[in-house]
Chains A and B, each alone.
Chain A
Amino acid sequence: DAKTTQPPSMDCAEGRAANLPCNHSTISGNEYVYWYRQIHSQGPQYIIHGLKNNETNEMASLIITEDRKSSTLILPHATLRDTAVYYCIVRPPSGSARQLTFGSGTQLTVLP
């Protein structure tokens, strides 16, 4: 799987947009970008994924740069319950990759 780089921590004011960056400069053409988050002492939660186009669902938006070397997860109106560690993962749709490789992620703290 391509390596990803994320800032170790970020703060965001409640009600504001949280923009979490991820660098994946070695991404291959068929690799997807996935975002998960893990709230303390809970199982990881899938948020969103994308290949080339920007994506939006009820939880977040994913912006992927045209060269696909980086992406940004956007939580449009952060709440206190969004405080978690956010993981950016890059992996192909098929092949030998079985497990999710979680890096160190970004600890997002939403402040009241």
Chain B
Amino acid sequence: DGGITQSPKYLFRKEGQNVTLSCEQNLNHDAMYWYRQDPGQGLRLIYYSQIVNDFQKGDIAEGYSVSREKKESFPLTVTSAQKNPTAFYLCASSIQAPGLAGGGAKNIQYFGAGTRLSVL
């Protein structure tokens, strides 16, 4: 089945530790995104990537890093600089990123099941 796979489902971080959240898609989508969701809140964009080897900061990039070495993979590292990492992390992808002409369907974002990160 085509889709987006996030792992692990649950993750615990110790003080001063970096942790990496995995996101893999087999939809052949160019664009990928990382969002953070806090309880009862909406989604906030951390990073996004429109194409391999390119990524851009979102609204809350501080304390996070990403890479996009392969089209299907967009891992997120939560560094020790992120002082409040406890949240629900969501990865998404779309056929192409906004900013390119193409109409409504190409900008639909499809989401993974999420990773819930907690601090020990």
CB distance A98 to B43 under 8 Å?
no
Cβ contacts under 8 Å, B103 to chain A = 93
Q: With A and B bound together, what is the CA distance between A103 and B116 in angstroms?
A: 21
Name which of B12-20, B68-76, B77-85, B105-113 contacts chain A: B105-113
CB distance A42 to B114 under 8 Å?
yes
CB distance A100 to B109 under 8 Å?
yes
Main secondary structure of the interface of A (DSSP, over half): loop
Classify chain A's interface size. 20 to 34
Given contacts A49-B105, A94-B98, A94-B100, contact A99 B58 (CB under 8 A): yes
Which residues of B are at the interface with A, using a C-beta cutoff of 8 A?
Answer: 4, 6, 33, 35, 42-43, 45, 48, 56, 58-59, 88, 90, 92, 97-114, 116
What would be 7 A-B contacts, judged by CB atoms less than 8 Å apart? A32-B107, A34-B104, A49-B108, A96-B98, A98-B56, A100-B43, A100-B92
Known: A42-B114, A93-B102, A94-B100. 5 other contacts (CB 8 A): A43-B6, A49-B105, A51-B104, A99-B48, A103-B42
